[in-house]
Amino acid sequence: MVTRSATSPRFKIRTKSLQFFTVLLLYYCYSNDIVAEPVAALPQTALDPSEIAIIVNDSDELSKKTGTYYRKQRNIPLKNLIHINFKPGRTNLSVAEFRRIKRQVDNATPPRVQAYVLTWLKPYRVTCMSITSAFAFGFSQDYCAQGCKPTKLSPYFNSTSRAPYDDYGIRPTMVLAGARFEEVQTLIQQGIDSDNTTPNGTAYLMDTQDKNRNVRSAVYDNVIKYMKNNIEVKRIKGQALKNKKDVLFYFTGLIRVPNIETNQFLPGAIADHLTSTGGQLTDSKQMSIMQWIKAGATGSYGAVVEPCNFPQKFPHPLVVINKYTQGESLIEAYWKSVAMPGQGIFVGEPLARPYGR
């Protein structure tokens, strides 16, 4: 992972740099109690199946099977099943091809829909953007970065919005897929099994020795402070968990995370590792976030292109834990926790809602 340097010429103050410093200030505030406590009670509502659209690639048999199965399991309206057609198997879509597909999707999307589900592992990017961010925002170079630079902010970050498309004109997007149909079935069932269970789980915050990837540890103390009445939170100095039976959140920073298969992830669990290319789902030289899903997590997040170690480009543990335990769905809580999601991909069962009421 490339690290950013305050002395680098890349960081000469220009007008475009104001956005970066704004986000740094926001992240600093969360680390130092400057903002209001993030545990205020919120209305116990979340996205429902009628507000989710499933996008299926008709040239991909697994995508078609996944879309049909998920729609039935979650009682998503048939009109919310959107069919497109493109050659499968590539990791990257061109901008021109993506824009053609996106126009087709936009024209077919019912107005009530607030979020999308993609039903394939490949492609996972559109040149410099993740495919989930491209579908959410539309392709824009503003969400990309050449080198260690900030990207455009998501207006959805840490918001109280219950209707992101109505409020901001964006539809948060998540990949629901696996290498085999059985893996997809398992993932969907984990989401369903999580609903309204109020699990007695633990949030594990790993404080690793990987200095470049351990940058989120700066907010760990505040996670413990603010979330102690919501969930058990444990900050652990070490490289990895082993043989834990109650994992609901697992945040760390490593190239590869050992022993994840020895742990038991509760239905609805969220787990991710801050590194350069964890979001390259099928061919990463590091650990793919799909390893979290195979180990039992219901949601994960990772970068599809080099993001440098900006914590703003990865999930903020305090935000996601707070939103999730206040009753939001997985797709809402996870998306709201990333200030700059343009280079990162979300994978999981979007409607999982362990703390629903």
Answer positive or negative: Cα dihedral of 207, 178, 57, 127.
positive
- b/e code 204-237 from CB counts within 10 Å (16+ = b): bbbebebebbbbbbebbebbbebbeeebebeeee
Paired strand residues for 173: 116
Bridge partners, 344 (sequence order) = 303
Q: Token digits for 252?
A: 């760390």
Backbone phi and psi for residue 300, each to the nearest 5 degrees, phi listed first: -155, 170
Q: List, in order of start, the domains of the chain with CATH numbers.
A: 199-330 (3.40.50)
- Residue 347 region, left (φ>0) first, then alpha (ψ -120 to 50), else beta? beta
Residue-level pLDDT at 13: 29
- DSSP code of residue 210: -
Predicted pLDDT at 190: 98
> Is 36 exposed, middle or buried, given 0-12, 13-18 or 19+ CB atoms closer than 10 A?
exposed
- Residue tagged 């939170």 (tokens): 233
- For β-strands 344-348 and 299-303, DSSP reports them as antiparallel
Per-residue pLDDT, 357 = 77
The pLDDT averaged over each successive group of 10 residues in the chain (357 residues) is 50 36 46 44 76 98 98 98 96 98 98 98 98 98 95 98 98 98 98 97 98 97 96 96 98 98 98 98 98 98 97 98 97 98 98 94
Q: Look up residue 271 and give its amino acid.
A: A
pTM as predicted: 0.92
Q: Residue 80: CB partners within 8 Å, gap ≥ 6?
A: 50, 52, 53, 54, 71, 110, 113
Q: Give the E-state strand segments of the chain in sequence order.
A: 52-57, 81-84, 92-93, 115-118, 125-126, 129-130, 173-175, 202-207, 232-237, 247-252, 265-273, 299-303, 344-348
Tokens 């207006």 appear where? 155
Note the pLDDT of residue 22.
44
